[in-house]
Amino acid sequence: MKLCFVWLWLVAALGCHAAEGQRSSAITILPVPDPARDGLAMAERLRSTVPVQESEYTGRLIITAADGQFREVPIVSRISLGRTNWQVTYRTAWDGKKPDETLTITRSTNGPGRYELITGTNATPRVLTGGELSHAFAGSDFWAIDLGLEFFTWPRQRKVRNEMTRSRSCNVLESMAANPAAGSYARLMTWIDVETDGIMRAEAYGTDGKILKHFKTDKFRKVNGQYQLESMKIGSSKTDQETELKIDLQP
């Protein structure tokens, strides 16, 4: 299975295609003996998931505003592997409304990521930290923190339950920020497929306890005998805007 764009968002592609368009009529919820211990172990496993190879993929961000107006932004994602870390780069092209952006995320198996943003013709990258990780990439609903899955590095992690969602058995992980910045995430609930460790859906909450955004994997397509994720969606409960990431799947 290919790991592209946000590799953990897409790792659910193999084995989850049968769940698309289905809903379980009954939800089975199982308790967790040690939520903190199991949550920390799960978060460590997820942030230690290393891309299997260097690769490059193209796609589009389809941004739909509350009034139904939409625009498409071409995007290129490249994964580069180093000796002790790896980089994921997201690059857009000028669409007549927003300047082109390049976001480079450097990760290792432990510790926070490094986020560097280049906007327009300014060749000097700006390092994003703290509340700056709420930067909306290309004006979309994808923030830098979403593309880097930074919430899995937060110190407070709890596996709160195991339940069925979209006909799949999922572990539900609660990630809590130590010092959340105003307007950013304070808590995330993530439904992680038990079989593949892929993210099926997620909900992000602000410091006021209200939901800020919701995420879900959306469409799958069979390419060369393997099911791959073709699109995922992220929506803002605050602005009613939605962004769909569509991936150009090639044989």
User: What pTM, to 2 d.p., does this model score?
Assistant: 0.83
Q: Which of 6-20, 70-84, 179-193 has the lowest mean pLDDT?
A: 6-20
CA atoms lying within 13 Å on the CB side of residue 87: 13
Report the distance separating Cα 65 and Cα 230, nearest Å.
Answer: 22
pLDDT of residue 94: 67
Residue-averaged pLDDT of the chain:
81
pLDDT in tens, 47-73: 887 777 788 888 899 999 999 999 999
Name the pLDDT band for 27 (thresholds 50, 70, 90): low
pLDDT in tens, 1-22: 333 334 445 443 333 333 343 3
The CATH class of 7-247 is: mainly beta
Given a cut of 50, whether residue 102 has pLDDT beyond it is yes
**Long-range interactions of 178-184: CB distance < 8 A, separation 24+:** 178/154, 180/206, 180/207, 181/130, 181/131, 181/134, 182/131, 182/207, 183/131, 183/134, 184/131, 184/133, 184/134, 184/145
What average pLDDT does this structure show over 105-126?
A: 86
186 vs 79, which has greater pLDDT? 186
pLDDT of residue 202: 93
pLDDT of residue 193: 86
